[in-house]
Structure 1
Amino acid sequence: MTLSKFNLPDLGNTPSTSEIITRHLREAIVAGHFAEDEPIRQDDIARQFNVSKIPVREALKRLEAEGLVMFQRNRGAMVTRISEAELAQMFEVRMLLEDKVLRLAIPNMTEETFARAESICREFIGEDDVGRWAELNWQLHACLYEPAQRPFLVGLIRSVHDKLERYLRMQMSLSAGKERADHEHREILAACRAGDVERAVKLLDEHIAGVCKTLFEFLPSSH
């Protein structure tokens, strides 16, 4: 019997239970609903999702690979604490990788690139949801880097952004971070449009260093 005449769902594109749990836990962590070093109780999560502990464990393993969760003996899974020294190194890595990819990208940028970047800037400054700020911030950076045609390199940069996202949300919400980021993004975009590689890279370095400096000013003293 064929089922082709029925309106069947495409289960091949349906996220698995563990993927759904991963997405919700990731959002809860980066939004600060879990404190650093706070245990994540698998039993509690399984009960809230009405599932067994197996997909919860799979989700936590994915988040461990992303650097958001760590496992400790006798304590189980907990939110990873990142030290100031580690944060500083992540920003150093951002500069190294993003400088490289922006240099490669600028010669390949088109009017479509600039129009898309400007559209993201407009949406960013008009957005009130801090969670969307972080996503739009990444979308803009990705828009400027994609013309480099280095997907592996951009993927590495994205992984660093993901690890920093909860701190970037704090930095943008506790300071005038959104307005400053918008101004600096537009300056970088203007330099890219002018084809001025050295100025664009210089502005990008100042942007990343400024975010790092402001973030450290707002970090809790116990960090």
Structure 2
Amino acid sequence: MASLPSNGLQAIRRSTLAEEVAAQVRRSIISGQIAEGSQVSEPKLAEQLHVSRVPVREALVELEHDGVVVFDHRGRCQVRQFTKADFEEILSLRLNLELMSVKLAAEKVTSQDLALLKSNLEALEEEKDVTNISRLDVEFHDLIMQAARHERLRVCWHTVRTQFELLLAKAHRWQAANDIPVSDHALRGHRPIFRALSAGDPEKAVQQMQKHIREWAEWMPADETTVA
């Protein structure tokens, strides 16, 4: 049988039901609509989303890999409650992964990378919705990982980024409830990182990223990142 001519086209991969379910549940957890510590019922989710329990189960296993839900010994699922130890582990991973990524990005950054980062900053400056601010904040860090062009580093980042976004979104909601400008911290940290990347200065980029992450750790309200 003759093969199809090569014309630059590739097969399109359709997302599975499980991936769609995982995406919806992940968004609901990050936005706080499904609260930390709450039970996640497979039958209820299946009914709400009009799917069978099989893709729901697969989705919850994916979210377990993301670190945002846990299963008990009976197989019951609940949203993870983050402890101070969890936060410190996430902080230590961020310091290791993101300092490496921003150094590599400063060495390899392209005009297209910079355009995407600039667009992200501009969107963050205009955004008022708290959940979208959290999404844009994490997206900035995703774009730096992308600019680093280190596949295994990106895979490592993926293991912690949803947990980071969840904690960040929770703190952003706390800020909004206390009339604190939500995007200010991100913009203060992201702008000098962007300038260092634009200048192709790895040393400065690392310094600014380290400062940004350390300030994030100091700024995060303790009662919003830990439980008793």
Q: TM-score range by the shorter chain?
A: 0.7 to 0.9
Residue 45 of structure 2 corresponds to: 45
Matches within 5 A, 1:112-131: 112-131=112-131
Deviates more, 1:45-54 or 1:57-66: 45-54
Are 1:213 and 2:189 matched, yes or no?
no
User: 1:187–1:60: structure 2 CA closer, same or farther, 3 Å change rule?
Assistant: same
Q: How far did 1:155 drift?
A: 2.6
CA distance in 1, matches of 2:140, 2:171: 18
Highest relative contact order (Cα 8 Å, sep 6+), 1 or 2? 2
Equivalent position SS for 2:38: coil
CA distance in 1, matches of 2:46, 2:147: 42
Gaps of 5+ in 2: 1-10, 176-180
User: 1:74–1:12: structure 2 CA closer, same or farther, 3 Å change rule?
Assistant: same
Q: How far did 1:158 drift?
A: 3.1
Residue 209 of structure 2 corresponds to: 204
CA distance in 1, matches of 2:185, 2:46: 41
Amino acid at match of 1:196: D
Q: How far did 1:26 drift?
A: 0.9
Matches within 5 A, 1:72-87: 72-74=72-74, 76-87=76-87
Deviates more, 1:63-72 or 1:133-142: 133-142
User: 1:218–1:178: structure 2 CA closer, same or farther, 3 Å change rule?
Assistant: farther
Are 1:69 and 2:69 matched, yes or no?
yes
- After TM superposition, which residue ranges in structure 1, 4 or more long, deviate above 3 angstroms? 11-14, 220-223
Deviates more, 1:172-181 or 1:200-209: 172-181
8 Å Cα contact 1:171/1:211 also seen in 2: no
CA distance in 2, matches of 1:145, 1:129: 25
Q: How many residues align?
A: 213
CA distance in 2, matches of 1:19, 1:138: 20
Amino acid at match of 2:198: R
8 Å Cα contact 2:82/2:227 also seen in 1: no
8 Å Cα contact 1:120/1:136 also seen in 2: yes
Gaps of 5+ in 1: 1-10
8 Å Cα contact 2:84/2:226 also seen in 1: no
Deviates more, 1:90-99 or 1:163-172: 163-172
Residue 178 of structure 1 corresponds to: 183
8 Å Cα contact 1:187/1:203 also seen in 2: yes
User: TM-score, with normalisation over the residues of structure 1?
Assistant: 0.86
Are 1:57 and 2:57 matched, yes or no?
yes
Equivalent position SS for 1:70: strand
Residue 101 of structure 1 corresponds to: 101
Equivalent position SS for 1:36: coil
CA distance in 2, matches of 1:124, 1:74: 43
User: TM-score, with normalisation over the residues of structure 2?
Assistant: 0.84
Amino acid at match of 2:195: A
Are 1:18 and 2:23 matched, yes or no?
no
Q: How far did 1:143 drift?
A: 2.4
CA distance in 1, matches of 2:129, 2:214: 24
Give % identity: 25
User: 1:86–1:221: structure 2 CA closer, same or farther, 3 Å change rule?
Assistant: closer
